[in-house]
């Protein structure tokens, strides 16, 4: 789990940099979504399952609503956007897996494409 947190930590640094651009008025939505997808792909490659990913991002959500969020409002706003995108991608992937049958029957495993 620590490896997964390290992966997320690296991507949070990238999102923090993106938030600086957003604070200057740049449109950064696609940049955040791209970083989220890259993060999930790397987490999957490290062996993460959807439940593992949700646990890590749910832990981040508690930070979003803390007092420290006041210090960097744009970063925390983008972090919430990232978490919502994670949920969206996991939902899409899980529904795709359900549509093709159980992973045991088809030999497929969870993976963000």
Mean pLDDT in the chain? Answer: 83
pLDDT attached to residue 110: 60
pTM of this structure: 0.79
Is the model's pLDDT at 103 over the cut of 60?
no
DSSP symbol at 66:
S
Percent of the chain with pLDDT over 90: 50
Structural domain spans, the chain: 2-101
Token pair listed for 3: 């490896």
Please enumerate in sequence order all residues whose Cβ is within 8 A of that of 48, keeping only pairs 6 or more positions apart, or say none.
Answer: 4
pLDDT attached to residue 106: 46
């Amino acid at each position: 789990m620590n490896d997964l947190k390290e992966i997320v930590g690296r991507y949070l640094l990238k999102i923090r940099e993106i938030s600086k651009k957003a604070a200057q008025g740049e449109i950064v939505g696609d940049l955040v979504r791209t970083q989220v997808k890259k993060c999930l792909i790397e987490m999957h490659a490290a062996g993460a399952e959807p439940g593992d990913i949700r646990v890590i991002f749910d832990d981040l959500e508690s930070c979003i609503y803390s007092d420290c969020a006041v210090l960097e409002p744009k970063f925390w706003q983008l972090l919430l956007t990232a978490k919502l995108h994670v949920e969206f991608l996991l939902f899409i992937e899980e529904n795709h897996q359900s549509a093709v049958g159980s992973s045991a029957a088809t030999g497929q495993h969870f993976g963000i494409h």
